[in-house]
Amino acid sequence: MYLLGEQPAYADTLINRLQNMPARLLEGLSPCGPALEFAAVDDLATLLPGNQLFLLDNGLLHGCVDHRPLFYLHEGDLVGLRQDVALPHCRLRSDGPLSLLPYLRTEVFQHIYAEPQRSELLLQYLIGQTALLYDAVARLKQPEYRSTHGFQRVPSGEVLIRQGDEADHVFVIIEGHAEAFVDGHKVGDVPKDEIFGAMAVFTGEKRNASVITNEPCTLMLIPKDQFLSLTQNNPKIAHSLIESMARRIDLLNKQITQLSAVKASG
């Protein structure tokens, strides 16, 4: 997905990263039939079977919401995720020929959720797409009404999360690296593409660790309500995220056990 008009460098970075994700999600899965070929179309959704998802193999689709052009889809993008969702109608139109590779929706999601890495990749893809649109809308507003949510560029040493604070955002590091601290002691690293800050958002408790950048970073910020809405509308995504957090907690517990053993032997 690309946004219409000029966009900041951080959006370009995220767009480039998102562009190859659909192919990775579908890797190992065969199309359910031959490619669908269309000439110019005014509303593609009315021509597509509701039980399928599509990989845009060739062509360009313009996305319009309330008759207003907002973005366009490019070769390699996934088409059809919005079907059966109670959202404002998004009309996909094209002035030229299109080629779409069809996949059964049920097979796609079975394929994705059968592998934890693919499940997490889907979550990154959906959050990334949402953040791009959110940022595009924010930049269309008058400056005095703009939100501070979306993307931020921060220097090294910036406190992204402070232990004991209320949880009002989930974060993703688009570029850079950060470290996690509990009571002033380092307990882990937060690398690029890591979704962090979700635990306190889910539980409603205060932050249990601080996260501080150790190099300049570009961040994607997802407001709490927006993130919870995404996970509530797709329980499988929430389940995948919880599994990921459980693995991190298990790793942290092992690190604590090892540190305790080292202290005891010392």
Reported as a single tens digit per residue, the pLDDT across 153-165 is: 889 999 988 899 8
Total number of domains in the chain: 2
Amino acid residing at 181: F
Same domain, 102 and 163: no
Within a domain: 108 = yes
Position 100 pLDDT exceeds 90: yes
- Mean per-residue pLDDT for 224-249? 67
Same domain, 102 and 61: yes
Domain of residue 85: give its range. Answer: 2-140
Within a domain: 60 = yes
Same domain, 56 and 136: yes
Same domain, 75 and 102: yes
Q: Which residues, listed in sequence order, are joined to residue 62 by a DSSP beta bridge?
A: 72, 93
CB-CB contact of 192 with 173 (8 Å)? yes
Reported as a single tens digit per residue, the pLDDT across 34-93 is: 999 998 898 888 888 888 999 999 988 888 777 777 778 888 888 888 655 555 677 888
Within a domain: 133 = yes
Same domain, 21 and 106: yes
Q: 247: domain CATH number?
A: 2.60.120.10
User: Which of 18, 41, 43 lies closest to 99, judged by CA?
Assistant: 41
Q: Final residue of a domain: which of 140, 159, 184?
A: 140
Same domain, 122 and 162: no
Same domain, 188 and 118: no
Q: Final residue of a domain: which of 77, 107, 140?
A: 140
Mean pLDDT (the chain) is 79
Q: Final residue of a domain: which of 112, 140, 168?
A: 140
Same domain, 213 and 233: yes
Position 110 pLDDT exceeds 80: yes
This prediction has a pTM of 0.55
Same domain, 12 and 128: yes
What is the three-state SS of the chain? CEECCCCCHHHHHHHHHHHCHHHHHHCCCCCCCCCEEECCECCHHHHCCCCEEEEEEECCEEEEECCEEEEEECCCCEECCCCCCCCCCEEEEECCCEEEEEEEHHHHHHHHHCCHHHHHHHHHHHHHHHHHHHHHHHHHCCHHHCCCCEEEEECCCCEEECCCCCCCEEEEEEECCEEEEECCEEEEEECCCCEECHHHHHHCCCCCCEEEECCCEEEEEEEHHHHHHHHHHCHHHHHHHHHHHHHHHHHHHHHHHHHHHHHHHC
Reported as a single tens digit per residue, the pLDDT across 186-210 is: 888 888 877 788 878 877 888 888 9
Contacts of 117 (CB under 8 A, 6+ apart): none
- Rg of the chain's alpha carbons, rounded to an integer? 21
